[in-house]
Structure 1
Amino acid sequence: MHLSSRLPHGFEPNALSAALARMRRESRDVLDLTVSNPTRCGFAYPETDIRAALSTPAVLAYDPDPLGSRVAREAVAAHHGHGLRAEDLLLTASTSEGYGLLFKLLGDPGDEILVPSPSYPLFEWLARLEGLHARPVPSYFHDRWHLDLGALEDAVGPRTRAIVVVNPNNPTGHFLSKGEWDALTALCARRGLALLVDEVFADYALEAPADRLPTALDDAAPPCPVFLLSGLSKVAALPQLKLGWIAVRGVGAEAHLEALAFLADQYLSVSAPVQAAAQALLALAPAIRSQVRARLSANLATLDAALARHPRLTRLPVEGGWSVLLRRPAVDADEACALRLLEQTGVLTHPGSFFDLPGDGHLVLSLLTPETGFREGLDCILPIL
């Protein structure tokens, strides 16, 4: 039987994943410094309030709206502020689904999107599954990360339809500067492109510079189509309650929302219970986020104290997000290094190559890791890097 060419040629795990699976089959202890699931990180969730939000009579009703229920959209708009209205929003089951809808909206098979790298590897597959090509455009590091705006402009071709940016970036933590935003929107307007802005980590600023763009919603009237994505997974650290959203602004916003509603109407994938609970869940989000931010700051301080004892190792600035880039002597390839650490110490890290970090010499660690485990993991791996 023929399978779609949009699928991988095979599903064999890479060497690091295979080693991890083998260790778990053997019941060997693994200390995970890559954890990204907040529900496994020991945070104190307001369980009674979450259960109450999901047990109101409204969760039993089904009144589908392709844009998502108005009550839920009003809750999202109020949460964001910046003049956002329910009429500007479309609800999705996740940000990944939001990307799928946007790629359907903006491109035909064979078209391409530009993605500044380093970045999250999921974009390649989300685009490929819609018949599009995600073309990476390297950013550069000089004191902090910067978009290479000239390279982005040079990369625009006749089949380029959009640029995707993550603000702040995963895993580099780079917030767009206000100057970069102005240049990006001008480029998209000049070349007839849409701009997709993923802001799932926007609430988690750490070492953010003064010129950062806190959110694309600061620009009330961008000169190009702008689609902002976010969701409960990071905003409220509730990935199990599948609710994302797309805010649409800029040129052609009304027509774009109408077309997105048509696409969403073919699936109607957002559950009625999570839409009914959205207002209450978003009201709980600030207290949950404060715990997450405290964890991120504490682990960053722990890392800095540990690095002071290992001067050959450094870290890059963490403007925002849940990850930190550890810089090490490139005595072996990043993936080989992560595999060596796993096998010798039982500590799981992500090689920088997974995120298209240039060259070798980087590991990616999660600052979300419970504090005791983070400290123990560092004590295991730093001496042998």
Structure 2
Amino acid sequence: MSDGDDERRRDLPDGGTDDVASAGDDVRADDTELDDTELDDVREGDRFTPADRVDAVAPSGIRAFFEVAESRDDVISLGVGEPDFTAPWPARSAAIASLERGRTSYTANRGTPELRRAIARHVERYDLSYDPEEEILVTTGASEAVDLAFRALVDPGDVVALPTPTYVSYAPGVTFAGGEPLPVPTYHEDDWSLTPEALRAAGADEADVLVLCYPNNPTGATMSREELSGVAEFCREHDLLVVSDEIYAALTYGDEHTSVATLPGMRERTVVINGFSKAYAMTGLRLGYALAPPTASAAMTKVHQYSMLSAPTTAQHAAAAALQRCDDEVGEMRREYDRRRRYLTARLRELGLDVAEPGGAFYAFPRVADVAPDGDDEAFATDLLRETGVAAVPGSAFGDGGAGHLRLSYATGMDELKEATRRLESYLAEH
């Protein structure tokens, strides 16, 4: 998604500011407000017109919602798509040491050789094998890796199939690249699983690219090897390329994560994306990576070379240490998320809300259509925030497929989770 910003805006793809005036704020440098006449003069002097592909994208619904949340002091946020843990000490220590040693220069465009080799060793646990010299690219967050895949591989007019509900950045990224997003609905009743039938019904047999995100943001859904096999067969049959965002791979509960690239005939047509924000609680260090065959990797590197040059150097030293020395810390975080997952799912069902079992990531996606005003999830989330101080993301922010649901993040402390569900219980009892 995919990765986050700061505490109450971590899922906002367009960022935001708190203490510093943004470009749209009507203030002078000396903090005095512009009067109406001066403001009109400023606007009349603005000669810029957004490009059509940018103007066609609506502002993030998540941002607008959390601007309301930020105005209150008593908010418990279940909307944050960011770990509430601190990055493991070995990673932080490596970052500090790299700065103390003056390692502040650019790295190779693809990333440091040490980190690329560490990534190659790390992904072997998922039965993935990639050459660190030609098939691994280190990026500024997994979000940049997704954007690079679209810009490097999608031609104007190409159709990109997006299973919905979907992470908020995918459709805009496709549009910015000149492609045409094609929603592929998945359903609560199917535990949000993607099927060949759903792809065919949506017209994805005519698409050029399919984007996968499993474990899924926002639903928490996972897909087994058997389920992915049907999707892989569809992709081979209709010659679809695949961008597989696997940022939550390490946060899978129960069955082990399966990468679609490990299935027959899929490695050569798949870009696998992962990173350090979620499993390693390193969101602010902005580091991800892409695994792809040489031609795709070279094309993505070319765009990266001209737009970003190289990923943050300090973060790369931290990431190498994380891969080499932080498995225990990741395991501890995963066990705690699993404890919260089981608590939240059970509690929501106690309250009469239907929720599919989340198999990965750190989100639950309960249906609220039956208790929301006119079935409107945005109205429900807004009212819940105003009356109880519990912030959750309306499911419709993730596309039409999420309408009538809420995304609740359990990347928050258990005490806060218990208090938030207590407030939710009181709210439902009163309505």
Equivalent residue number for residue 286 of structure 1: 327
Cα distance, 1:345 vs structure 2: 0.5
Q: Deviations over 1:118-164 (max 9, x none)?
A: 11121111112222222111023445332131332351366x32100
Q: Secondary structure at the match of 2:223?
A: coil
Equivalent residue number for residue 82 of structure 2: 37
Gaps of 5+ in 1: none
Q: Secondary structure at the match of 2:137?
A: strand
Separation (CA, whole Å) in 1 of partners of 2:205 and 2:236: 15
Larger deviation: 131-140 or 186-195? 186-195
Separation (CA, whole Å) in 2 of partners of 1:276 and 1:263: 23
- The CA RMSD measured in Å over matched residues stands at 2.8
Larger deviation: 124-133 or 268-277? 268-277
Q: 1:95 to 1:365 in 2, by over 3 A?
A: same
Contact 1:235 1:285 in 2 (8 A): no
Q: Secondary structure at the match of 2:289?
A: strand
Cα distance, 1:9 vs structure 2: 6.1
Cα distance, 1:373 vs structure 2: 0.7
Higher percent of residues as strand: 1
Q: Secondary structure at the match of 1:339?
A: helix
Contact 1:295 1:371 in 2 (8 A): no
Equivalent residue number for residue 371 of structure 1: 414
Larger deviation: 282-291 or 363-372? 282-291
Equivalent residue number for residue 165 of structure 2: 118
Equivalent residue number for residue 4 of structure 2: none
Contact 2:76 2:390 in 1 (8 A): yes
Q: 1:266 to 1:353 in 2, by over 3 A?
A: same
Equivalent residue number for residue 343 of structure 2: 302
Contact 2:87 2:281 in 1 (8 A): no
Tell me the amino acid that sits aligned with residue 21 of structure 1: E
Cα distance, 1:304 vs structure 2: 4.6
Q: Secondary structure at the match of 2:284?
A: coil
Separation (CA, whole Å) in 2 of partners of 1:278 and 1:20: 30
Cα distance, 1:297 vs structure 2: 2.2
Q: Deviations over 1:317-360 (max 9, x none)?
A: 11111101223424421111101101111110112222236475
Question: 151, 160, 163: which is aligned to 2:210?
Answer: 163
Equivalent residue number for residue 85 of structure 1: 131
Match status 1:7 vs 2:54: yes
Q: Secondary structure at the match of 1:227?
A: strand
Equivalent residue number for residue 146 of structure 1: 193
Separation (CA, whole Å) in 1 of partners of 2:112 and 2:399: 39
Q: Deviations over 1:51-100 (max 9, x none)?
A: 33442377626464332222110011111113333132111111111122
Contact 2:214 2:246 in 1 (8 A): yes
Separation (CA, whole Å) in 1 of partners of 2:185 and 2:418: 32
Provide TM-score, normalisation by structure 1.
Answer: 0.86
Q: Secondary structure at the match of 2:192?
A: strand
Tell me the amino acid that sits aligned with residue 259 of structure 1: A
Cα distance, 1:105 vs structure 2: 1.9
Larger deviation: 82-91 or 316-325? 82-91
Tell me the amino acid that sits aligned with residue 227 of structure 2: E
Match status 1:384 vs 2:423: no
Q: 1:101 to 1:9 in 2, by over 3 A?
A: closer
Cα distance, 1:315 vs structure 2: 2.2
Question: 301, 324, 333: which is aligned to 1:261?
Answer: 301
Q: 1:339 to 1:63 in 2, by over 3 A?
A: closer
Q: 1:58 to 1:231 in 2, by over 3 A?
A: farther
Contact 2:353 2:367 in 1 (8 A): yes
Separation (CA, whole Å) in 2 of partners of 1:359 and 1:78: 37
Separation (CA, whole Å) in 1 of partners of 2:402 and 2:120: 42
Task: Give the alignment of 1:220-299 within 5 angstroms.
Answer: 222=266, 224-248=268-292, 253-267=293-307, 268-299=309-340
Match status 1:201 vs 2:243: no
Separation (CA, whole Å) in 1 of partners of 2:154 and 2:253: 35
Separation (CA, whole Å) in 2 of partners of 1:108 and 1:46: 40
Tell me the amino acid that sits aligned with residue 314 of structure 1: D
Contact 1:58 1:273 in 2 (8 A): no
Separation (CA, whole Å) in 2 of partners of 1:222 and 1:147: 17
Contact 1:204 1:320 in 2 (8 A): yes
Q: 1:86 to 1:360 in 2, by over 3 A?
A: closer
Larger deviation: 235-244 or 138-147? 138-147
Cα distance, 1:104 vs structure 2: 1.8
Separation (CA, whole Å) in 2 of partners of 1:260 and 1:319: 31
Cα distance, 1:299 vs structure 2: 1.9
Question: 367, 373, 386: which is aligned to 1:343?
Answer: 386
Gaps of 5+ in 2: 1-46
Contact 2:165 2:398 in 1 (8 A): yes
Tell me the amino acid that sits aligned with residue 144 of structure 2: E
Q: Secondary structure at the match of 2:277?
A: helix
Contact 1:114 1:163 in 2 (8 A): yes
Equivalent residue number for residue 52 of structure 1: 94
Separation (CA, whole Å) in 1 of partners of 2:209 and 2:68: 41
Equivalent residue number for residue 355 of structure 1: 398
Cα distance, 1:12 vs structure 2: 6.9
Aligned length: 371
Separation (CA, whole Å) in 2 of partners of 1:52 and 1:223: 33
Contact 1:351 1:364 in 2 (8 A): yes
Equivalent residue number for residue 44 of structure 2: none
